[in-house]
Amino acid sequence: MSLPVLQFGAPGAPEILVILFSFVVPLAIAFLIYRDAKGRDSRHALAWAVGAFFGSLVVWILYYVVRDEVGSGRRA
């Protein structure tokens, strides 16, 4: 006896959604955080982006909370 196969339209659709939500969305948000931190003259823009990609929601919220202080590392 075999189990029924769930189909959401095209074959492979669930896999595409998993890839989208586990790789593409974090990559896009990491890029946006990098661009925002770079625009605020942060010396740690790349670190924020890497943290946003791997740390996901926790780092996204943390960056949103402290983003006004992110650019405060300007050199005189």
- Structural domain harbouring 36: 26-69
48 within domain boundaries: yes
60 within domain boundaries: yes
What stretches of the chain show up as alpha helix (H) in DSSP? 13-19, 25-39, 45-55, 57-70
- Among the listed residues 56, 62, 61, the one whose alpha carbon sits nearest the alpha carbon of residue 23: 56
19 within domain boundaries: no
What interhelical angle do 57-70 and 25-39 show, nearest 10? 10
Say how many domains are in the chain: 1
pLDDT at 75 over 70: no
- The DSSP letter of residue 36 is H
Encode pLDDT of 11-47 as tens digits: 667 778 888 888 888 999 999 999 999 999 999 999 9
